[in-house]
Amino acid sequence: MIKPRLWITRRLSEATIERADRDYDLVVNFEDLPGTADQIIAASAEFDAIIPCHSELFSANVVAKLNPRLKIVANHSVGVDHCDLDALKSRNIAVTNTPDVLSDATAEIAMLLMLGAARHAISGDQIVRDGLWTNWSPSFMVGKQLTGACLGIIGMGRVGRALAVKARGFEMEIHYHNRTQLDDNDACGAIFHNTIESLLEVSEFLSLHCPATQQTNKMMNKTRFEMLPKGAVIVNTARGGLIDENALLEAIISGQISAAGLDCFQVEPGGNPNFAKYKNIFMLPHIGSATSKTRDAMGFRALDNLDAFFAGKVPADLL
């Protein structure tokens, strides 16, 4: 039996590549650089399937030029805002993603960012590292305590719920806004808000976990930052486009926002250089799902979807 030909666009986990090589006629981009539009278009004539990451862009213009040989794009990601789903559907190209398996890892990073931002992790590390820790006083490095504070979550999907469970360990009071109200079991005891505005009013800490869409683009803007309690902390492990970064910077400078923890930015890679001089902005380079366990699980989930598709079944994560 002839194996389907598969292109993996980035260096995935060793376990993923080993399994893919067993079951497919495999080519891997071991240079580990983002696939360009020209490379994606050329690959569509050579491969039956592609496993891309968020770094490969399947815009309407790219999709229009794809060869009919390509049958499925099995994303190694949960978010699919790099894919024009309507365009791919119009070309009868199946699209899948990898939900569920990265929720805990991303929620862990959200907790790290929340704690690091609230407790001056950047300043504290630099003071010790640079040999500047020469005194102490009761007013030294005083931060914002999570225990007992109100946490607002926008987007109570898998990651939002995982964060809620972890935040319960800090005895935080959980509130959330979601497109639909969850049942009591899924809500993890969190309090539902019909509107973002009512959620913001009570959120001493705010964590974003919604997808990037036209409706959510720059949803956290100047007006909404001003709705938060004075000195609130904001965390974003979802997509950089959810935040108006100029408005965030203004809120940081004014003290309306006391600190921010960011794992994603409007421009990636690179981030926002204007944030660099503010020690109360704790930043990571979009590593929410970056654990060995999760990377294996994401790769295997993408391959599970491919296996189902080429067996004539409906992939579990078909979009």
Which residues are annotated as catalytic? 239, 268, 286
Nearest Cα to 239, choosing from 219, 259, 221?
A: 219
Cα torsion 113, 118, 123, 128: sign: negative
141-145: long-range pairs with CB below 8 Å, 24+: 143/118, 143/119, 143/259, 144/118, 144/119, 144/204, 144/231, 144/233, 144/258, 144/259, 145/118
The three-state DSSP-derived secondary structure of the chain is: CCCCEEEECCCCCHHHHHHHHHHCEEEECCCCCCCCHHHHHHHCCCCCEEECCCCCCECHHHHHCCCCCCCEEECCCCCCCCECHHHHHHCCCEEECCCCCCHHHHHHHHHHHHHHHHCCHHHHHHHHHCCCCCCCCCCCCCCCCCCCCEEEEECCCHHHHHHHHHHHCCCCEEEEECCCCCCHHHHCCCEEECCHHHHHHHCCEEEECCCCCCCCCCCECHHHHHHCCCCEEEEECCCHHHECHHHHHHHHHHCCEEEEEECCCCCCCCCCHHHCCCCCEEECCCCCCCCHHHHHHHHHHHHHHHHHHHCCCCCCCEC
